[in-house]
A and B are shown apart, each in its own frame.
Chain A
Amino acid sequence: MIQGPQNIPFAQSSDSQQVPPPYHFPDVTVNAFVWPANMKRVQAYCDQTFNLGSEEERGFVYRPAAMWPYATLLFLEYPIMISSNPLPQHFDEMPYSDRGIISQTEVFIAVPVIRYGTDPVTLITETTLEWALPFIVVGNPMSSVCGREMLGLGKLLADIKTREGRFPNSFHGTIKMPGWRSLEPGAQMDPKLKFVDVKTNPVLPTFRSSENQRRSLSTLFESREASWLIEEMGSLSNLVDDISLGMIPTTMRTVGLKQYRDAIDPTRAIYQSIVTCRAKYSNINTFRMYDEKDIDIEFNDVGSFNEILQVFLEVGDTPSGRKYPLTPVAGFQFKADIDYDQMRVIHSFAIDREGGLPPIPAQSDLVSSWARPWKGFFGPLTHPMRNVE
């Protein structure tokens, strides 16, 4: 159980834009594009982001999920975002859930990773599948602040446009965000530098296909059995979380590194922890596939964008200054309700402090989601809301 940091109260400002979790997002439109990821690069990302310090101290190690060696780019359009926390933050305050709703578009790249326990017991009880989000951008400033300061998701603010493409039922998505074309001192930031452009032809079946659709992965889903499987996955989504140990992506447990810089020495962290949250997809409907051969994805390998592209694309160590075209192996669209909850600090790293203050020791709460009820039955209750007590 991770103990809270000495019950330090947060001074709530009247204009605070931080909306308390959990959240409910009904009727979200998702466009997803899948391509093979380089496992070495994903491992390097895991080592840099999660496998900090020694394995003995941490008690876990993150590795890429070998059974799903792909990266997924998701465009999510949220018509309604609601805080589903009915409690007020202060006794005389209106709960955030009653204040109103926001809309936004979000884009992220998800890479499945597996956290392995490092001894025979924890290898069974603490091994779990999670989704790392090395790139995540949103269109709403409140969402970016909440993601960064509470959930450990490095959400950047971007200008995201999603629309129907040239043809009916096609998709066109663009991200423009602040960036530098050159990393040389004095180069001015471009506040709307294009990061990625995605274009598709109409969803299948369509006659606007450039190649024989019989050679497409998507033809698999034209079969009655496969269509039934998709529908059943949607209707069974409340159960799959329990029976699949989190391996089916209708429930994504995201993992992120929540950390903050010291003001005087910004290379030093004053707080560093691994946070997981559950994104549960339910009521999945209108699942439709694109012909992957007619999906054009172009990332912009310039200046400050090169660093992130190195995680999931085969780009060089220095920006090429050119577009990087990508051919996905699958593309699909669906609608779903998404609940975002079960925020948990699973490991907080030890923090050395200055000024004669005692160091804050490392703490862990690594039991995987499927084993948590068993641990609760046989051991002390470790519900997240109790962690701070």
Chain B
Amino acid sequence: MTRFVGNFSTQQLLPPWVSLRAKSWVFIIKVKRKCLQRYLNTHFNAAAPDQAPFHYEALNYTYGLMRVTQHPDFSSCHNNRPGTQTLSKIDIDWAYPCYRWRVSPENIRYDRKIVWVEPLSFDNNSYTMFSSREIWGTETNMAHIEVDESLTRGKLHIDMAIEGLKKFTPKSHSHLLGCLHIRVDTETQSTLMEQIEKDRDLAAFAGVLFASVGLQGQSLVTHDSELNTLKQFRDVFNMKVAVYRAIVQSRSDHENVSDIKIYDGSNVKLDFMWSQTMAESLHRLFGLRKKHAKTAERGHPGGTRSIDGHEVDWDLPCLNKDVVLAASFTSDIRYDVTGTLHTYGN
């Protein structure tokens, strides 16, 4: 076995991770099927150079989840030592379920299973950002995130900013750019039945979603919460080549789920801020286009705001994305790596 040399810069949070009393907000967004399939094709279905014995396929009900999770007590439980390297953080990710087929050497697909993928991920704690990237393979970016429930009574306000470039020109200077803004009217709640009666696809998606969350009294074994990530690292002198590339399998189990609240999508305003740094992601993952940015209103919908005391540039086109349904809940979450499904370059 090649021993990993632990040192100061790799004092990472080793899995499994445990988050106690995590507060989650989930926003269901409908996107085009090609947006879901494109990421699966480039990251999981492509030959690299060998083909993984799996095929990933987008579901027919083309929804995904924008998840915002506030972790007041997040730690490593490695070697059964709970509470190791405890920290607090907020993360935001875009995740959706898809079918994963096994593929035989004869190219026959069988054994279909629903798994989740996470093409976009942000974290406001650098330790977990490095650990996510270097252990799990999630391509997490550092962000400044603020979740404010006290700003206006009955309104939840979420802001996120990242270091980036407004426009790509040789003289552009990287700075803190607004990236995401969400506002929820939390006083007007809805019920799930009301919402899924309006949309049959949403009912199917809600079924997948609930299968991935362990409600109180449910056995953890029955959950379908598998997440697949592409773990890869670049070569030092050829940026197009990876020195390691593998599909990693993990799962997240929610326990003690409580305080569930459902909100109608019409009570949520979710805006992406268009910058050239984010443009490609917004186009490829959400189908937003530059032409939408040209006609969009500019600026932070609630005025200029700083995050964590850092000045943020919100003078950017603000592109609204409709939210179908939103929910919030509190839970304890355990994140486990369960295997490496395929290592490329055999």
Name A residues whose Cβ lies closer than 8 Å to a Cβ of B.
Answer: 4-18, 20-21, 48-49, 52, 89, 94, 97-103, 134-136, 140-142, 144-145, 148-152, 154-157, 178, 180, 185-189, 191, 257-264, 266-273, 275, 304, 307-308, 343-345, 349-355, 357-358, 384-385, 387-388
Give CA–CA (A191, B308) in the complex, Å.
12
Q: Is the CB of A8 within 8 A of B48?
A: yes
Q: Is the CB of B9 within 8 A of A98?
A: no
Q: Is the CB of B135 within 8 A of A266?
A: yes
Q: Is the CB of B7 within 8 A of A49?
A: yes
Give CA–CA (A252, B75) in the complex, Å.
38
Q: Is the CB of B168 within 8 A of A99?
A: yes
Q: Is the CB of A144 within 8 A of B126?
A: yes
Give CA–CA (A48, B238) in the complex, Å.
28
Chain A nearest CB from B213 CB (Å) reads 23
B173 within 8 A of A: yes
Chain A nearest CB from B250 CB (Å) reads 8
Can you list the 6 inter-chain pairs with the closest CB atoms, starting with the nearest? A154-B9, A100-B172, A14-B280, A185-B83, A141-B142, A189-B87
Chain A residues near B231 (CB-CB < 8 A): 263
Give CA–CA (A308, B4) in the complex, Å.
17
Chain A residues near B248 (CB-CB < 8 A): 263
**Do A259 and B241 contact each other (CB < 8 Å), given the known contacts A8-B345, A14-B280, A180-B85?**
no
B154 within 8 A of A: no
Chain B residues near A101 (CB-CB < 8 A): 170-174
Q: What would 13 A/B residue contacts be, using CB atoms closer than 8 Å?
A: A9-B241, A10-B234, A11-B232, A98-B168, A100-B172, A102-B174, A152-B236, A178-B127, A186-B86, A189-B87, A345-B236, A350-B2, A355-B340
Chain A residues near B5 (CB-CB < 8 A): 48-49, 52, 257, 259, 269, 272
B221 within 8 A of A: no
**Do A308 and B340 contact each other (CB < 8 Å), given the known contacts A15-B280, A189-B127?**
no
**Do A264 and B244 contact each other (CB < 8 Å), given the known contacts A11-B46, A98-B170?**
no
Tell which of B2, B9, B81, B86 touches A272, judged by Cβ atoms closer than 8 Å.
B2
Chain A residues near B246 (CB-CB < 8 A): 263, 270
B contact patch SS? mixed
Q: Is the CB of A268 within 8 A of B81?
A: no
Tell which of B129, B172, B243, B340 touches A5, judged by Cβ atoms closer than 8 Å.
B243
**Do A18 and B234 contact each other (CB < 8 Å), given the known contacts A142-B163, A156-B126?**
yes
Chain B residues near A152 (CB-CB < 8 A): 236
Give CA–CA (A214, B105) in the complex, Å.
80
Give CA–CA (A187, B174) in the complex, Å.
35
CB closest residue in chain A, given B238: A388
**Do A266 and B4 contact each other (CB < 8 Å), given the known contacts A141-B142, A189-B88?**
yes
Tell which of B134, B168, B250 touches A261, judged by Cβ atoms closer than 8 Å.
B134
CB closest residue in chain B, given A184: B83
Q: Is the CB of A150 within 8 A of B126?
A: no
Given A99-B169, A268-B4, 15 more A-B residue pairs with CB atoms under 8 Å apart are: A5-B244, A8-B243, A15-B281, A49-B5, A89-B240, A99-B165, A100-B169, A141-B126, A149-B133, A157-B142, A259-B5, A259-B10, A269-B3, A271-B243, A349-B2
B125 within 8 A of A: yes
Q: Is the CB of B84 within 8 A of A7?
A: no
Chain B residues near A267 (CB-CB < 8 A): 3-4
Give CA–CA (A193, B284) in the complex, Å.
39
Name B residues whose Cβ lies closer than 8 Å to a Cβ of A.
Answer: 1-5, 7-12, 14-15, 42-43, 46, 48-49, 75, 78, 81-88, 119-120, 125-127, 129-130, 133-137, 139, 141-142, 163, 165, 167-174, 230-246, 248, 250, 276-278, 280-281, 283-285, 337-340, 343-346
Q: Is the CB of B2 within 8 A of A352?
A: yes
Give CA–CA (A276, B81) in the complex, Å.
37
Chain B residues near A387 (CB-CB < 8 A): 237-238
Chain B nearest CB from A213 CB (Å) reads 37
Tell which of A7, A103, A271 touches B244, judged by Cβ atoms closer than 8 Å.
A271
Chain B residues near A354 (CB-CB < 8 A): 340
CB closest residue in chain B, given A178: B127
Chain B nearest CB from A364 CB (Å) reads 15
Candidate in B81, B141, B246, B339 with the most chain A CB atoms within 10 angstroms: B141
CB closest residue in chain B, given A266: B14
CB closest residue in chain B, given A98: B170
Give CA–CA (A11, B247) in the complex, Å.
12
Give CA–CA (A140, B119) in the complex, Å.
22
Chain A nearest CB from B81 CB (Å) reads 6
Chain A residues near B84 (CB-CB < 8 A): 185
Q: Is the CB of B135 within 8 A of A10?
A: no
Chain B nearest CB from A155 CB (Å) reads 7
Give CA–CA (A8, B345) in the complex, Å.
6
Chain B nearest CB from A159 CB (Å) reads 10
Q: Is the CB of B141 within 8 A of A15?
A: yes
Give CA–CA (A333, B120) in the complex, Å.
42
Give CA–CA (A125, B224) in the complex, Å.
58
CB closest residue in chain B, given A52: B5
Q: Is the CB of A89 within 8 A of B239?
A: yes
CB closest residue in chain B, given A384: B237
Q: Is the CB of B87 within 8 A of A156?
A: no
Chain B nearest CB from A242 CB (Å) reads 22
Q: Is the CB of B233 within 8 A of A271?
A: yes
Chain B nearest CB from A301 CB (Å) reads 13
Q: Is the CB of A268 within 8 A of B1?
A: yes
Give CA–CA (A152, B234) in the complex, Å.
11
Q: Is the CB of A385 within 8 A of B244?
A: no
CB closest residue in chain B, given A154: B9
CB closest residue in chain B, given A265: B1
Chain B residues near A388 (CB-CB < 8 A): 235, 237-238, 241
Chain A residues near B238 (CB-CB < 8 A): 4, 385, 387-388
